[in-house]
């Protein structure tokens, strides 16, 4: 069924609508919402005006709400009876619980969003194991049951759960999820554990990351990531916090710099002009940490901005960070690791093991941060990470953690020594 209009909410507040006439869709704010003292922009790329946004920025924003995986979109399209390219049709089907506070529905269904409708269905450990098994069998093709109406960005298969105390539930209708569950990238051994360990290690050295836990459900590994865009009230209510990824904030569709996506310079300019110097500095620290970890997938969709009332914004906690170091034996060429590349270049260099002091200095100049501070952070992060990774693995304390440690620890110790040495040599 063709959909021409969707109402757009931030949590339970209507903020505007998306319409499609003779071409791609265009978002428009409701004038009443623009006058609201608690106004929160839907996207930093949108003008604060009742006039319709351009097709380009609307399309970029919509793309970030949906899975990047084409097979997943095909599955949703089949369920909705629309084409996989019909973004409004897809979101009419799965738009009740999206990234950030965004929620979308057809105009006649607005009461469900305003009245906080929905349901929670208990999920036992066995049921979660079954869901993971179905997800593994489907491979890249996400499975979203017909009674669930959530959407998440990214390419990796995942599903949502809501936690109440120590119990897990399937959120149905308009109920807010609190966690994202992933088994790990297909074909990459121990990847869910890898991600959990990397996030835990970064948090141990003082960086702000999402909180996660690693579990095995009937021997099926999973990382359960607590959503940073949810706020738990003392009365048990869950409030959605608005966020958008940096592709949406810059009105870009491609995530990867080498495919025309956002560059370090573009991101830093956005953060300095519309978010704040502290967030810009945290972004530079994240670039350093991704390099020191050997994490290749730190593209623009894996950074987000929390958009808060009163026009405030802040870089969100880090998420989707996993190292490539355990998965390839390093060739030695002058003491350098030869392996995959970092997603965003560092002063013109993207190969792990090849970033020199001169590259770091170019990066710091591009981002407008103090070079002495930057070099100090490279040295500090490189020195602290191996011990933090070791501690995070020991904290998990499973056979899988021992197996990952055999691959991970020697590689990261070597890589961090090289990183620190090269940054300190003029």
Which residues have a Cβ under 8 Å from the Cβ of 200 and sit 6 or more positions away?
209, 212, 388, 392, 395
Q: What is the pLDDT of residue 116?
A: 67
Q: What is the pLDDT of residue 335?
A: 42
CATH architecture of 119-226: 2-Layer Sandwich (3.30)
Q: What is the pLDDT of residue 336?
A: 42
Q: What is the pLDDT of residue 231?
A: 93
Q: What is the pLDDT of residue 328?
A: 65
Q: How many CB atoms lie within 10 A of CB 163?
A: 18
Q: What is the pLDDT of residue 138?
A: 77
Q: Would you state the structure tokens that stand for residue 57, as one six-digit string?
A: 């920025």
Pairing of strands 304-307, 313-315: antiparallel
Q: What is the pLDDT of residue 333?
A: 45
Q: Would you state the structure tokens that stand for residue 241, as one six-digit string?
A: 């916090």
Q: Could you tell me the CA-to-CA distances from 279 to 116, 198, 272, 274, 275 in Å, in that order?
A: 33, 21, 8, 10, 7
Q: What is the pLDDT of residue 128?
A: 96
Domain ranges of the chain: 5-114, 119-226, 230-424
Q: What is the pLDDT of residue 260?
A: 95
Helix (H) or strand (E) holding 400: helix 399-424
Q: What is the pLDDT of residue 1?
A: 59
Q: Would you state the structure tokens that stand for residue 161, as one six-digit string?
A: 């759960």
Q: How many CB atoms lie within 10 A of CB 190?
A: 20
216, exposed or middle or buried, with CB in 10 Å at 0-12, 13-18, 19+?
A: middle
For every one of its 426 residues, what pLDDT tens digit does the chain have, with 9 covering 90 and above? 578 999 999 999 999 999 997 678 999 999 999 999 889 999 999 999 999 999 999 999 999 999 998 888 998 999 999 999 999 999 999 999 999 999 999 998 888 777 666 789 999 999 999 999 988 887 766 778 888 889 998 888 899 999 998 999 999 988 999 999 999 877 788 999 999 999 999 999 999 999 999 999 998 999 999 999 999 888 878 999 999 999 999 999 999 999 999 999 999 999 999 999 999 999 999 999 999 999 999 999 999 999 998 889 999 999 999 999 998 644 444 444 445 799 999 999 999 999 999 999 999 999 999 999 999 999 999 999 999 999 999 999 999 999 999 999 999 999 999 999 999 987
């Amino acid at each position: 069924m063709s959909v021409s209009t969707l109402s757009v909410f931030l949590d339970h507040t209507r903020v505007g609508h998306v319409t499609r006439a003779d071409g791609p869709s265009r978002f428009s704010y409701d004038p009443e919402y623009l006058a609201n003292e608690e106004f929160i922009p839907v996207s930093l790329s949108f003008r604060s005006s009742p006039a319709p946004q351009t097709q380009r920025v609307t399309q970029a924003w919509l793309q970030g709400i949906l899975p990047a995986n084409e097979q997943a979109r095909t599955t949703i399209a089949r369920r909705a009876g629309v084409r996989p390219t019909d973004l409004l049709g897809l979101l009419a089907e799965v738009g009740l619980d999206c990234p950030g506070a965004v929620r979308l529905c057809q105009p006649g269904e607005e009461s469900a969003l305003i009245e906080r409708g929905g349901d929670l269905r208990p999920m036992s450990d066995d049921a979660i194991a079954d869901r993971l098994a179905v997800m593994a069998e489907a491979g890249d093709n996400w499975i979203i049951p017909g009674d669930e109406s959530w959407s998440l960005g990214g390419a990796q298969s995942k599903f949502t759960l809501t936690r109440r105390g120590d119990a897990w539930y399937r959120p149905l209708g308009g109920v807010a999820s609190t966690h994202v569950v992933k088994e790990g990238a297909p074909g990459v051994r121990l990847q869910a554990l890898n991600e959990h360990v990397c996030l835990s290690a970064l948090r141990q050295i003082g960086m702000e990351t999402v909180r996660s836990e690693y579990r095995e459900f009937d021997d099926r590994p999973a990382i359960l990531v607590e959503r940073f865009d949810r706020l738990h009230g003392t009365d048990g209510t869950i409030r959605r916090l608005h966020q958008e990824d940096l592709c949406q904030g810059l009105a870009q569709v491609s995530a990867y710099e080498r495919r025309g996506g956002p560059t370090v310079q573009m991101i830093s300019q956005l953060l300095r002009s519309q978010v704040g110097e502290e967030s810009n500095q945290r972004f530079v620290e994240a670039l350093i940490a991704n390099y020191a970890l050997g994490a290749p997938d730190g593209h623009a969709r894996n950074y987000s901005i929390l958009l808060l009332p009163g026009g405030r914004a802040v870089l969100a906690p880090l998420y989707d960070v996993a190292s490539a170091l355990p998965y390839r034996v390093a060739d030695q060429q002058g003491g350098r690791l030869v392996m995959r590349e970092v997603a965003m270049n560092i002063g013109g260099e993207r190969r792990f093991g090849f970033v020199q002091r001169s590259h770091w200095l170019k990066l710091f100049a591009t981002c407008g941060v103090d070079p002495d501070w930057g070099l100090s952070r490279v040295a500090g992060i490189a020195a602290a990470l191996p011990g933090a990774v070791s501690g995070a693995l020991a904290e998990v304390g499973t056979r899988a953690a021992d197996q990952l440690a055999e691959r991970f620890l020697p590689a990261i110790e070597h890589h961090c020594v090289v990183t620190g040495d090269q940054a300190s040599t003029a």
